[in-house]
Amino acid sequence: MNPNQGQNQNQQGQQMPQNMMNPNHGGHELFDAHEVIASLINMLDQYQMYAQHIQDPELQSIQQRQHAFVTQMYNTIVQSFSTGQDPAQDTQQYKMQQSNEVVYGIKPGQPKKPNQSVNELADKGLSAYMLGQTKTLATLLSMTALEMTNPVLRRVVADSVPNFIEMSYEIFLYQNKHGYYQVPQLQQQDMNQMLQSYTTAPQGNMPH
């Protein structure tokens, strides 16, 4: 007799559904979750490396706050992944500290090129690396949430997407304020033409 057979049957001797024995995750979901968790670890490790080279106290503050927030997010996702149950710590909302005023226009500057040594690392490049990682994770978590079968992990991952969007925006605003990330604009006439390219559609009664 199979020693596990008794575990697969209820008191009436009926076969229990497989998802009642192991309600955690589907196979595809496991691979996606591993990629998300590994990417979070990568971001946290990289942020520690950046901290050794950042000079601007404002960028240091962004790095420290985002590192602390993502560490908590990492723990929440790992708990949800490991247990399939609600984590001890709910997902939190990241609040940036940058003003959301954007400087538009392009100013001439020196052409960019790769650094020749780590001694050339500067806040301009370091903030760009940080932005690249937060944008990548915002995209990765969005795609992963669409493939989740466990409702708890799906919610935790989906709720984390706006936080990475907010972190990305914070870094962009920092870069924009310092002239690292410039924002070109169309001529006013072209911009107005594009803004007026659409009109609203008549809206019927919503189905009940």
DSSP codes of every residue in 98-121:
S-----BB----PPP---SSGGG-
Does residue 151 lie in a domain region? yes
pLDDT at 24: 67
Angle of CA points 182, 47, 54, to nearest 5°: 60
CATH number at residue 33: 1.20.1260
Does residue 46 lie in a domain region? yes
Does residue 196 lie in a domain region? no
Q: At residue 67, what is the residue type?
A: H
pLDDT in tens, the chain (208 residues): 444 444 444 444 444 444 334 446 777 788 999 999 999 999 999 999 999 999 999 999 999 999 999 999 999 999 988 887 888 888 899 999 888 899 999 998 888 889 898 888 999 999 999 999 999 999 999 999 998 888 999 999 999 999 999 999 999 999 999 999 999 999 999 999 999 999 999 988 877 7
Does residue 113 lie in a domain region? no
pLDDT at 87: 84
State which residues form the domain around 47.
Answer: 25-103+120-183
Q: Helix, strand, coil shares of the chain as percentages rounded to 5? A: 60, 0, 40
CA distances from 120 to 108, 116, 133 (A): 21, 7, 20
Does residue 199 lie in a domain region? no
What angle, rounded to 10 degrees, do the helices at 123-145 and 27-51 form?
170
Does residue 13 lie in a domain region? no
Does residue 48 lie in a domain region? yes
Does residue 17 lie in a domain region? no
Angle of CA points 59, 78, 60, to nearest 5°: 10
Q: Which two tokens stand for residue 58?
A: 């404002």
Q: How many folded domains does the chain comprise?
A: 1
Radius of gyration of the chain (CA): 24
pLDDT at 11: 45
How many Cβ atoms are within 10 Å of 116's Cβ, its own excluded?
7
Our measurement of the distance from residue 60's CA atom to the centroid of its chain's CA atoms, rounded to an integer in Å, reads 20
